[in-house]
Amino acid sequence: MIALLRKPITWLVLAIALAGTLAYLYKSISDDAAAIERAKQEKANAEFSVKANKGVVSYDTCDRADGVYDFAKGTCQLQAAQ
């Protein structure tokens, strides 16, 4: 085992494996952050749509804005920020 650690190829293989692992972790973390930002932007867009159309939007848009859809009136009421 000690003889293997003295060979440069062993260190090269270990360095490549470590670099690959670090690249995978970086990519995974950045993908998660991007998904969170996309969700925030989609919610903000839906809230704007509800406000701009005075609550007259589709159920799906109201749901994305975290609003309460009134089926009788066909309108969306946004809940107060918490």
The whole-angstrom separation of Cα 76 and Cα 50 is 7
Tell me, what's the pLDDT at 2? 66
pLDDT in tens, 17-72: 999 999 999 988 888 888 899 999 998 888 888 888 887 888 888 888 888 999 99
Q: Is residue 3 pLDDT above 80, yes or no?
A: no
Tell me, what's the pLDDT at 1? 58
Question: SS3 letters for the chain?
Answer: CHHHHCCHHHHHHHHHHHHHHHHHHHHHHHHHHHHHHHHHHHHHHHHHHHHHCCCCCCHHHHHHCCEEEECCCCEEEECCCC
Q: Is residue 8 pLDDT above 90, yes or no?
A: no
